Homo-oligomer: A and B are copies of this chain.
Amino acid sequence: MKAIKPSLAKGTRDFTPVEMEKRNHIYNTLKTIFKKYGYSEIQTPSFENLSTLTGKYGDEGDKLIFKILNSGDYLSKAPEKLLEEKKSTELISSISEKALRYDLTVPFARYVVMHQHEITLPFKRFQIQPVWRADRPQRGRYREFYQCDVDVVGSDSLLNEAEFILIYQEALTKLGLQDFNIKLNNRKILSGIAEVVGKPELIVDMTVAIDKLDKIGLEGVNKELLERGFTEEDLAVLKPIIELSGTNLEKLTALKSVLVDSAVGLQGIAEIETVFDYLQKLGQGSLLEKIVEVDITLARGLNYYTGCIFEVKTNEVQMGSIGGGGRYDDLTGMFGLKDLTGVGVSFGADRIYDVLEELNLFPPSNAERTKVLIINFDKELEGFTLPLLYQLRDAGIAAELYPAAVKLKKQMSYADAKQVPYVLLIGDEEVRSGELSLKNMESGEQEKLGIAALIEKLK
C-alpha cells in the first residue's frame, strides 16, 4: 500500500482530548438544563432519504445538501440523455437516494410524524448532533458542525416560550457569560405592520429591509424599501416603528397604538405580553429589564415562523447570534400531519465554544483527566506498583502506571502533556517504608503518604 499524505476533508475538524473536554462541558451543561425543564433526548440518523430533505430549505439549501452516491452500479438507472449532456443536477435523483442531514428540524418533523402513535403530546425533545452543509468553509464556518435543538410540539401554551427564555438565561449564565441579550419578536407583529402600511403582500420585502437597520441605518433601509415597492407615504408610517426605542413596555405601548387597527398585529403584541406575564409569575420579571429585548427588526427565516421569534447575542465578544428559534405552526405538514404547532430554540455550540474560548471561561481543570501517574522506575517494582494501581482505580481514581521503565524525564513530560495533577514516585525506599512520594505537578511540592492517606487525598 502506498503511503498517502493524510489530510482532513475540507471544512471538517478533529477534536483533540482537550477540545473534547471543552465541548463536553458545553453539551453536559446544556443537557442538564434541558432535562431539568422536562426535555428528553432523541437522535436521528446521519443520513435521510433524499426526498425527505429536498425542497425544505429553498433552492440554495438544496444545493448545500451533501448527497450520498448509491451503492453498486449507481449509473444503471441514469437516463442516457442526461448522462450525455452531463446534466449534473437533473441526474442526482437517479444516482443518489440518500443525503446527510442539513439541520435537526426536518429530521425531527419526520420523527414526529413517523412516531406519532407512540408519542404523547406535548412532546418535548432535545437533540445534539452534527449537521452537514456543502458551504464554502471559512473562519468559524464548517461543513460539519453541531446543533443543539430544544423543541416542544403539540402545545400552543406561551409558557413554552417563557421557559425557553429561562433556558437560555440559565444555560448561558452557567457557562459563564455575563452580558447577553435575548431578542424577541413576533411574526404576527410583522404581519400587522405590513397590514397597517397597506402592503401585506410585501411583508417579506419589508422585513428583509428592516432587518438591515443595524448595518445600513434608517436611510439605507428607506432606500431599500422604496426599491422593493413601498412609497414615501409608507415610509412615513413605518418610520416610528423602525425607530422604536425605550423599554420593552414603552415599545409595546407604542406598537399597540400603531397597530390598533390590525387584529393580527395586536394578537402578536398580546402574545409577547403573555410571555412577559409568565416570566413575572416565574419570579423572573427582572430579565425583562436587562436581558430580554423586544426587537421588531428581528426576522430569522420569516416564512417559517408564525409566532414568537428569538435570537440571542453576546455583547462580550464580536460574534453573530449564538442561538435563535421561534414558533412554527406547521412543522409536520410537509410530511402530511397537519396543524401540529411547535416552538423551539437552538444553541450554536460551535460559536458558543469560540466565545467561551475567547473569554477564557472554560473551567481550568477537569474531572475527565488522569489524576495520578505512577512513575515506572524499574520493572522489578511492578510487583508493588501494579497492586497499588489496581487499588487506586478500585477507589474510583483515574490512575496510570507509565507502561515502561524509561527515563524519568520522558515520564514527567508525559504527565505534563496530559496535565496530570499528581505523580507518584516509588523507589525501593518507598516500597520498604510504605510511605509513597506524591508530587503535586502544579506547585512542585512533594509529600510522603501511606496508601490509605494517598487514596483519601486523591479521591
Contacts and interface: CB of A to CB of B under 8 A. Distances in A.
B144 A14 contact: no
Q: How large is the interface on A (under 10, 10 to 19, 20 to 34, 35 or more residues)?
A: 35 or more
Interface string A99-115: 01000000001110111
Chain copies in the assembled complex = 2
Nearest to A85: B75
Given A83-B83, A155-B404, A114 B14 contact: yes
Interface of A: 1, 3-9, 12-17, 20-21, 24, 35-38, 40-49, 51-52, 55-56, 63-64, 66-69, 71-76, 78, 83-84, 86-88, 91-92, 95-98, 100, 109-111, 113-115, 118, 120-122, 124-125, 130, 132, 134, 144, 152, 155-157, 159-160, 278, 281-284, 333-336, 368-370, 373, 382-383, 386-387, 389-390, 393, 396-401, 403-404, 413-414, 416-418
Of listed A6, A12, A397, residue having the most chain B CB within 10 A: A6
Contact of A69 (B56, B69, B71, B83): B69
A254 B403 CA distance: 30
20 contacts: A1-B56, A4-B52, A4-B334, A6-B109, A12-B47, A16-B42, A20-B40, A20-B42, A20-B43, A36-B399, A38-B418, A68-B100, A75-B86, A75-B91, A152-B403, A281-B386, A281-B387, A282-B387, A282-B389, A282-B390
A157 B403 contact: yes
A23 to B, nearest CB: 8
Q: What 5 pairs between A and B have smallest CB-CB spacing?
A: A12-B45, A17-B40, A157-B403, A120-B417, A38-B400
A402 B76 CA distance: 54
A116 to B, nearest CB: 10
Contact of A335 (B3, B36, B73, B118): B3
A397 B36 CA distance: 6
Given A281-B387, A386-B278, A122 B403 contact: yes
Given A40-B20, A284-B390, A403 B155 contact: yes
A123 to B, nearest CB: 9
A14 B284 contact: no
Given A20-B42, A120-B418, A282-B387, 6 more contacts: A4-B336, A7-B52, A7-B114, A38-B418, A46-B100, A155-B403
A150 B15 CA distance: 16
